[in-house]
Amino acid sequence: MPRVRLGAVGYLNARPLVYGLDASHEFDLRFDVPSKCAELLHEGAIDVGLIPSIEYNHPITRTEYAIVPDLAIASNGPVASVAIYSGKPMGEVRSIALDTSSRTSVALVRVLCQREFKIAPRLEHRGADLSEMLTACDAALIIGDNALVEDGGQTVEKIDLGDLWTRTTGLPFVYAFWAGRHRSLSAHDVDALQRARDRGLRHTDDIAREYFVSAPERQAMGARYLRDNIKYSLGAQERAGLELFFRYAVEAGAITRAEPLRFF
């Protein structure tokens, strides 16, 4: 049987979901930024992708995707790796520079600007260099490993978007999940992905140590992040948070429609 082509996110937070899959005979695994994973899935270059959740409502094609059950990258409180950095109160922000590695985080910014900050800032796509971003704009969105290790300094406030979402909605936030075309995974494949997650969660120290092999001072921080900040289940509460986010994203103009959740 041909191997299933998997496209995974290269960030630390995705590593527990793919633990051991690089040695699997069932999957071919590649790593990219979240937006690239989605692009590859839309193009049919991979069978299943760990895609930003907003990409499930993809405007590029009308292909219906299915989600792998019980697997996600989510948070229920502070996430530590998705944040807005601002040198002024958010109510005074008129422009935000965006790290566009994930459309989900960009959509979340639009939702929170409309619903919580009550602002309509100009949004600019820029590289993930905080100093340059804050020179060009009043605030900046940084995600992934860059946000995990960037505190912003004494004059810049770091606003954790996972924490803000949960405090204002009472629900978890789902950043990404495995999705693909129907029939691209068998029941055995789904079980293999779930078992990879379970193995990964038993080896968070090993994952962080290997990921930060050249920066040992970050290894303990990375392990805590995987254990305490990131959640890897897609249960009833996560699904409720996901559906609410999709609805808010439509209202904010980030997507045109919210697809019903479908599972393998």
Could you report the average pLDDT of every consecutive run of 10 residues in the chain (264 residues)? 92 97 92 93 95 86 84 98 97 96 94 98 93 96 94 93 98 97 94 98 98 96 97 98 98 94 95
Which two structure tokens, joined as six digits, stand for 141?
């969105």
The length of the chain is 264
pLDDT at 23: 87
Residues whose CB falls within 8 Å of the CB of residue 178, separated by 6 or more in sequence, listed in order = 17, 48, 49, 50, 51, 67, 68, 71, 193
pLDDT at 213: 95
Q: Does residue 109 fall inside a structural domain?
A: yes
Closest-CA residue to 238 (of 106, 101, 67): 67
Partners of 160 in beta bridges: 83
pTM exceeding 0.85: yes
Q: Does residue 16 fall inside a structural domain?
A: yes
Secondary element (H or E) of residue 35: helix 34-43
Domain range for residue 224?
4-74+172-251
The total number of structural domains in the chain stands at: 2
> Of 169, 193, 215, which residue constitutes the final position of a domain?
169
Closest-CA residue to 207 (of 17, 9, 8): 17
> Of 169, 185, 203, which residue constitutes the final position of a domain?
169
Residues 147 and 188 grouped into a single domain: no
pLDDT at 61: 55
Q: How far apart are CA 49 and CA 141, in angstroms?
A: 24
- Calculate the CA dihedral of residues 58, 54, 150, 120 and round it to 10 degrees: 100
Residues 86 and 143 grouped into a single domain: yes
pLDDT at 28: 95
pLDDT at 5: 97
pLDDT at 60: 63
> Of 169, 188, 207, which residue constitutes the final position of a domain?
169
Q: Does residue 259 fall inside a structural domain?
A: no
